[in-house]
């Protein structure tokens, strides 16, 4: 089992934490406790889904990012922007205007993450055809889902499709293209991903199944949104933009980061798209029991409405989905009229990307294991069951654990004591 | 460790509850995920059998350091010819049960595929006991 620690983008500010336990109750993997009046994170359980960030009333949970000015450490500064970013702006702000502003504030190149979706889709479908014995196949598009499966569903790790996600494929593509077309040396090129969530940051900082990430830095979507929107406000209503050539994403690619975005492009006969982490957990329990038959492909996303629901996006997720749909419809119209060729931009590197799309082995890292040794684990479980019978089963959370069962486990693992339970104390 | 679960006739809503509970236990014991999968697939099959084809019953699981033994004891109607029922495609299920997607005759063969030992005892009119053993 993989023992190297996870990098976590979610960080706790002890001074701001008031120990309210909201985060502990919201965590889908029971990775948080309240000890001595402050929230404490169990790093091996956290999957960077960001549910805690959403509910924290004092903003004591924050998300580390690279300083914006760190882009200027590079001569060639690439903004790797997911198309969700464009979905945050009002309809009268065009994609090309956003590209232009990104250039004005310091980037030398702008490319949308979804540029390599056609190759990604092809690689996934090929993997499915080459591995007919592994079903269902599970997409690795959402890094929080990959981590969820590693820690909570170790038996399904082998169902994960071990391929680079579009973020990495596109980083690979743009780096190669710039090196070929322009005179930059590899060290001159800095690729910065604009992230809608914490999980992507964690994936960049400690990639699963990879030695190092292809992305050099991460900028949070909310902070970049502020920079860009400020510029739009300064330019005022009468602003006449100079149309820039923008990367020609296909309608299919524009929609990829939304729920059903991958599923609609999959060759699989029977597939499901499931978003929001609790929905995913409920479904995976059934998949693990083999209760769901004849399913070939699963697109699973940790956030409601997928990436528009990311914790760092700046508008209501349903509004964003509609804007992204509107853009896809426009592109689809152009495609139908023959005004836009589908996906020509990455064609030149198709073979190179295909040959380098695989990631290394993804290992289980179960958070559930009580002890490596089964006899010891059995003994601990016996003690947990004894404690469980004693505890009130009210799951009040006052002890600092999210449930009575979690407290029982913590006691046996020497991380808490029975007297932490307020009901036990009274007796 | 000894675990017990009761299952009720035609309680399809809760089919899989005992399997899930046992799965959760095995995961905490650091049993190899692929072995957990085999146990759960076999057990789910047996659990559904007791719910769909029998009049409910009990599930007893005994977990030791090197193996799990699960006994599913149902309350009838019993299988007249076990050898026949062990073959793929053979089923004693009623048309109603088949309409619900059960009773394809794959149950017992599927259990046998996933366990290291399978023992089926049955008395018509009394009930069936399916005992299975999986080694860790």
Does A315 share its domain with A188? yes
Minimal C-alpha gap between A21 and chain B (Å): 25
pLDDT the model gives residue B92: 72
pLDDT digits (tens, 9 = 90+) for B122-133: 999 999 999 999
Cis amide linkage into residue B58, ω under 30° from 0: no
Q: Is B64 on the interface with A (CB under 8 A)?
A: yes
Count how many domains chain A has: 3
- Residue A364 placed within a domain: no
What CATH code is carried by the domain that includes residue A405?
1.10.15.40
In this complex, which of B1, B44, B64 lies closest to A381 when CB atoms are compared?
B1
pLDDT digits (tens, 9 = 90+) for A302-357: 999 999 999 999 999 999 999 999 999 999 999 899 887 765 678 889 999 999 99
Minimal C-alpha gap between A135 and chain B (Å): 14
DSSP codes, A102-151: HHHTT-SEEEEGGGGHHHHHHHHHHHHHH-TTS-SEE--SSHHHHHHHHH
Structural contact between residues B9 and B56, judged by C-beta atoms closer than 8 angstroms: yes
Residues 6+ apart with CB under 8 A from A67: none
- Residue A362 placed within a domain: no
Does A175 share its domain with A301? yes
What residues of A are in contact with residue B34 (Cβ under 8 Å)? 155
Does A194 share its domain with A77? yes
Does A234 share its domain with A124? yes
- Classify residue A156 by its DSSP letter: G
pLDDT the model gives residue A305: 97
Q: Cβ A155–B33 below 8 Å, yes or no?
A: yes
Interface test with A, best of B17, B33, B41, B51 (most A CBs within 10 A): B33
Interface test with B, best of A3, A149, A282, A288 (most B CBs within 10 A): A288
The token pair at B131 is 């005992």
- Beta bridge mates, B118: B132
Does A409 share its domain with A283? no
Cβ neighbourhood burial of A25 (10 Å; 0-12, 13-18, 19+): middle
Q: Cβ A154–B33 below 8 Å, yes or no?
A: yes
- Residue A363 placed within a domain: no
Counts of helices then strands in chain B (DSSP H, E): 5, 5
Q: How many CA atoms lie within 13 A of A346 on its CB side?
A: 31
Does A46 share its domain with A81? no
pLDDT the model gives residue A427: 67
pLDDT the model gives residue A7: 79
pLDDT the model gives residue B132: 96
Q: Cβ B29–A291 below 8 Å, yes or no?
A: no
- Residue A337 placed within a domain: yes
Minimal C-alpha gap between A405 and chain B (Å): 13
Backbone angles phi, psi at A173, to 5 degrees: -60, -50
The token pair at A103 is 């250039």
Could you give the ipTM of this predicted complex? 0.80
| DSSP3 helix / strand / coil % (chain A, rounded to 5) | 45, 10, 45
Does A341 share its domain with A413? no
pLDDT (average), residues B80-100? 78
Does A314 share its domain with A394? no
pLDDT the model gives residue A247: 64
State the DSSP H helix or E strand holding residue A181, giving kind and residue range, or none if neither. Answer: helix A166-181
pLDDT digits (tens, 9 = 90+) for B30-89: 899 889 989 999 999 999 889 988 899 999 999 999 999 999 999 988 888 888 888 887
Among residues A166, A131, A151, which one has the least CA distance to residue A284? A151
Task: Indicate the CATH number for domain B2-135.
Answer: 3.30.565.10
List chain B domain ranges. Answer: 2-135
pLDDT the model gives residue A65: 84
Q: Cβ A377–B20 below 8 Å, yes or no?
A: no
Choose the final residue of a domain: A33, A64, A95. Answer: A64
Name residues of chain A where pLDDT drops below 70: 1-6, 245-247, 342-344, 427
The token pair at A323 is 């804007």
Distance CA(A89)–CA(A226), nearest Å, equals: 11
Does A177 share its domain with A95? yes
Residue B22 pLDDT > 60:
yes
| DSSP3 helix / strand / coil % (chain B, rounded to 5) | 40, 25, 35
Minimal C-alpha gap between A173 and chain B (Å): 37
Structural contact between residues B53 and B10, judged by C-beta atoms closer than 8 angstroms: no
The token pair at B12 is 């399809």
Does A381 share its domain with A260? no
β strands within B1-126, DSSP E? 2-7, 57-63, 67-74, 117-123
- Classify residue A160 by its DSSP letter: B
Structural contact between residues A346 and A119, judged by C-beta atoms closer than 8 angstroms: yes
Q: How many CA atoms lie within 13 A of A356 on its CB side?
A: 16
Structural contact between residues B44 and B99, judged by C-beta atoms closer than 8 angstroms: no
The token pair at A374 is 């089964």
pLDDT the model gives residue A375: 93
For tokens 């980037």, the residue is A107
Pairing of strands B67-74, B57-63: antiparallel
- Beta bridge mates, A163: A358
Residues 6+ apart with CB under 8 A from B61: B2, B3, B4, B5, B22, B68, B69, B70, B71
Residue B7 pLDDT > 60:
yes
Size of interface A-B (CB pairs under 8 A): 63
Domain extent for A380: 369-427
Stated length of chain B: 136
Q: pTM for the complete prediction?
A: 0.90
Pairing of strands A10-12, A38-41: unpaired
What residues of A are in contact with residue B26 (Cβ under 8 Å)? none
pLDDT the model gives residue B94: 73
Does A183 share its domain with A321? yes
Does A108 share its domain with A28? no
- Residue A301 placed within a domain: yes
- Measured N-to-C along each axis, helices A198-205 and A143-152 cross at an angle, to the nearest 10 degrees, of 80
Residue B106 pLDDT > 90:
no
Cβ neighbourhood burial of A279 (10 Å; 0-12, 13-18, 19+): middle
pLDDT the model gives residue A1: 43
DSSP codes, B64-80: -SSEEEEEEEE-S---S
Q: Cβ B33–A373 below 8 Å, yes or no?
A: no
Structural contact between residues A404 and A416, judged by C-beta atoms closer than 8 angstroms: no
Choose the final residue of a domain: A64, A98, A118. Answer: A64
What CATH code is carried by the domain that includes residue A39?
3.30.70.20
For tokens 């409601």, the residue is A304
């Amino acid at each position: 089992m993989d023992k190297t620690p996870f990098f976590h983008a979610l960080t706790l500010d002890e001074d701001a934490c008031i120990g309210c336990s909201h985060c502990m109750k919201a965590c889908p993997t029971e990775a948080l406790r309240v000890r001595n009046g402050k929230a404490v994170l169990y790093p091996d359980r956290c999957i960077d889904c960001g549910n805690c960030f959403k509910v924290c009333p004092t903003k004591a949970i924050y998300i580390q990012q690279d300083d914006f000015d760190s882009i200027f450490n590079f001569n060639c500064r690439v903004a790797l922007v997911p198309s969700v970013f464009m979905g945050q702006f009002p309809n009268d702000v065009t994609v090309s205007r956003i590209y232009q502003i990104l250039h004005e504030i310091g980037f030398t190149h702008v490319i949308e993450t979804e540029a390599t979706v056609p190759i990604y889709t092809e690689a996934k479908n090929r993997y499915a055809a080459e591995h007919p014995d592994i079903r269902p196949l599970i997409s690795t598009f959402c890094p929080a889902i990959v981590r969820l499966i590693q820690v909570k569903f170790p038996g399904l790790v082998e169902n994960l499709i071990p391929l680079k996600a579009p973020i990495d494929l596109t980083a690979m593509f743009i780096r190669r293209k710039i090196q070929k077309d322009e005179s930059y040396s590899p060290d001159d090129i800095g690729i910065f991903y604009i992230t809608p969530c914490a999980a992507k940051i964690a994936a960049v900082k400690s990639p699963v199944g990879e030695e190092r990430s292809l992305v050099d830095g991460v900028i949070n979507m909310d902070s970049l949104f502020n920079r860009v929107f400020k510029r739009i406000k300064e330019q005022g209503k009468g602003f006449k933009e100079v149309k820039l050539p923008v990367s020609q994403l296909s309608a299919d690619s524009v929609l990829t980061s939304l729920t059903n975005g991958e599923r609609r492009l999959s060759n699989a006969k029977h597939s499901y798209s499931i978003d929001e982490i609790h929905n995913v957990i409920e479904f995976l329990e059934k998949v693990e029991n083999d209760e769901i038959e004849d399913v070939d492909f699963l697109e699973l996303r940790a956030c409601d409405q997928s990436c528009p629901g990311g914790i760092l996006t700046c508008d209501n997720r349903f509004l964003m989905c509609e804007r992204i749909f509107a853009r896809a419809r426009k592109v689809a119209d152009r495609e139908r009229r023959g005004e836009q060729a589908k996906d020509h931009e990455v064609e030149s590197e198709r073979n190179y990307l295909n040959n380098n799309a695989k990631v290394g082995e993804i290992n289980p890292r179960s958070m559930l294991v009580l002890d490596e040794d089964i006899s010891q684990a059995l003994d601990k479980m016996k003690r947990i069951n004894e404690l469980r019978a004693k505890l009130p089963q009210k799951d009040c959370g006052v002890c600092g654990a999210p449930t009575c069962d979690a407290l029982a486990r913590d006691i046996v693992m020497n991380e808490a004591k029975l007297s932490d339970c307020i009901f036990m104390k009274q007796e | 460790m000894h675990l017990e679960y009761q299952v009720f006739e035609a309680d399809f809503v809760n089919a899989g509850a005992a399997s899930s509970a046992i799965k959760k236990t095995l995961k905490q014991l650091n049993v190899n995920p692929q072995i957990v999968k085999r146990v759960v697939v076999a057990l789910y099959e047996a659990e559904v059998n007791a719910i769909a084809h029998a009049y409910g019953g009990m599930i007893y699981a005994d977990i030791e350091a090197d193996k799990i033994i699960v006994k599913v004891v149902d309350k009838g109607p019993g299988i007249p010819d076990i050898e026949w029922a062990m073959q793929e495609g053979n089923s004693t299920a009623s048309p109603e049960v088949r309409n619900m997607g059960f009773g394809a005759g794959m149950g017992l063969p599927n259990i046998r595929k996933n366990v290291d030992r399978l023992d089926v005892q049955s008395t018509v009119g009394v009930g069936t006991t399916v005992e299975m053993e999986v080694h860790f």
